[in-house]
Amino acid sequence: MEPPSYSWISPFFSFVLLLSFQAVTLADSHQNFLQCLSLHSENNGTSNISQVIYTPNNSSFSSVLEFSIRNFRFSTPTTPKPRVIITPSQVSHVQAAILCSQKYGLQIRIRSGGHDYEALSYVSNVPFVILDLINLSEISIDVKNKTAWVQSGATIGQLYYKISEKSKTLAFPAGVCPTVGVGGHFSGGGYGFLLRKFGLAADNVVDALIIDVKGRLLNRESMGEDLFWAIRGGGGASFGVILAWKINLVTVPSTVTVFTVHRTLEQNATKIVNKWQYVADKLPEDLYVRLYLTRLNSSSGRTTIRVTFECLFLGGVDFLVPLMQQSLPELGLVKSDCKEMSWIDSILYFGGFEGESVDVLRNRTPTSFDTFKAKSDYVKEPIPEAAFEGIYERFYEQEAEGAVMILTPYGGLMNKISESETPFPHRAGNIYKIQHLVSWQGGGAEATERHINWIRRLYSYMAPFVSRNPRAAYMNYRDLDIGTNNNNGYTSFKQASVWGFKYFKNNFNRLVRVKTMVDPGNFFINEQSIPPLYSRKKKGD
């Protein structure tokens, strides 16, 4: 009798052996990477990097990962997780992370606050590590020279708090949400209620410290003006790890005036919005009036659209009310709608913390968490009044319960800064910017698909009424719908230019040249990072 054949087992055992070999290789590579981090730190005179390294085997790994996640769309069991999280507390830790990640073929994702809309700072589809800058959050204020050094892991709320400790008439033109990290906010542009008077956060950066792909610590002088230009609006994560920023502080009056006024469709909101389009960018630069549209479900069950007008005026109420009555009489503003306060109190007011201690700005944890998707547009000509009816129709749909359109006025100083002064090109010629956003709670993948499809339909509807050739977008409101790189290390100029010209217009070409100069191997890469002109190809291409 012939012995039974076991030839069918061989492929199976070969497969098992292959998996076992890959697992051992992966484990060895992981251990070697950790050893590399320690070695580089020791060579730089420090030996405590182990205290800022978190692996999946560490009991704190999940809490460190999740602490700075601001969009629950990227906090699911199937969301790719990093091999390692590093929370550097000194320069040598960052240098070690860069050099060892290159050596062992790992991507770096750089996180300062975690507010990036598409989670590019903490998610990747290839093996990666997170460089979380949360421990690099020191802030030094120089009142005499009206400057400050701010580390990238600080939040803008912490910056405002530190300024308020030193002065009641110094400020900085950055965003409203206090938990946004400085690193991403400044490097992508960064704007807030002082936009029309003082420009963007990036417009007020005068120096920076960056660690490049070679592990070198560079300041403005040593990095050169091309790279310094690129990181002020072109995104820092494409070029290196920005450790700190030197900024010019601005002077504001001891008293400013704010108001928040609501109008529904039944209160002639459409007529007021239409008039606002014609005057918002032409108002004195001390005056900023933005508006946002939401759906309002009344207690009677009736659904309508509510438009909220928010204002910051760098002056007193007795100057503001006549100015508004002359410029936008349709709003019907009266003195009792307004409140006088200090600039730092206006930060609390617009952040939803009116009446609370300024200490709340030091808190890194947002008061609410959402799952959301956002997009952006720029408007160069007033949108026809009739076109708002189509917007309202979409806001009445089921998925729009958590939808908002925020209209941010331009003009003022934004008209006076050249498109090429920084990579941020959206200057003169724009009446206002739109942020489209929809948020929702729970519902899993099906709810996510429905809501994303809803905002895509709204975005499609808006196409005839916004900028064209290109249809511009704001880089800090990342939107992977408008194009992505192949983040495995090969990105073509043509592929990246799909989204690149929307964010940066003709400045994209210069950004590519800078990238080619400082990171020709394309180590600092994500789904929308600037590519070098001749990006490296995969083997076999």
**What is the arithmetic mean of pLDDT over 499-512?**
98
pLDDT tens per residue across span 173-199: 999 999 999 999 999 999 999 999 999
Residues 6 or more apart in contact with residue 4 via CB below 8 angstroms: none
Question: Which residues are registered as beta bridge partners of 296?
Answer: 304
Q: DSSP characters for 436-463?
A: EEEEE---HHHHHHHHHHHHHHHHHHHG
Check 54, 288, 477, 503 and give the catalytic one: 477
pLDDT tens per residue across span 303-314: 999 999 999 999
**What is the arithmetic mean of pLDDT over 114-123?**
96
CATH architecture classification, 256-337+370-465: 3-Layer(aba) Sandwich (3.40)
Walk across the sheet containing 217-218 and list its strands.
139-142, 147-151, 241-248, 205-211, 217-218
pLDDT tens per residue across span 290-299: 999 999 987 7
Separation between Cα atoms, residue 405 and residue 34, nearest integer Å = 46
Q: pLDDT grade, residue 302 (50/70/90)? A: confident
pLDDT tens per residue across span 354-409: 999 999 999 998 777 789 999 999 999 999 999 999 999 999 999 999 999 999 99
Q: Where are the domains of the chain?
A: 9-135, 139-251, 256-337+370-465, 491-541
Separation between Cα atoms, residue 8 and residue 97, nearest integer Å = 46
pLDDT tens per residue across span 40-81: 876 666 657 889 999 999 999 999 999 999 999 999 999 999
CATH number of this structure's domain 139-251: 3.30.465.10
Contact 410, 279 (CB under 8 A): no
Instruction: Enter the tokens of residue 284.
Output: 């004195």
Separation between Cα atoms, residue 429 and residue 442, nearest integer Å = 40
* Domain 9-135 bears CATH identifier 1.10.3720.10: no
The number of beta carbons lying within 10 Å of the beta carbon of residue 505 is: 18
Question: How many Å separate Cα 389 from the centre of its chain?
Answer: 30
The number of beta carbons lying within 10 Å of the beta carbon of residue 55 is: 14
Helix (H) or strand (E) holding 292, with range, is strand 287-297
Surface-to-core class of residue 464, CB atoms within 10 Å of its CB (0-12 exposed, 13-18 middle, 19+ buried): exposed
pLDDT at 130 over 90: yes
Q: 349 an active-site residue? A: no
Question: Which residues are registered as beta bridge partners of 211?
Answer: 217, 241
> First and final CA of the chain: distance in angstroms?
53
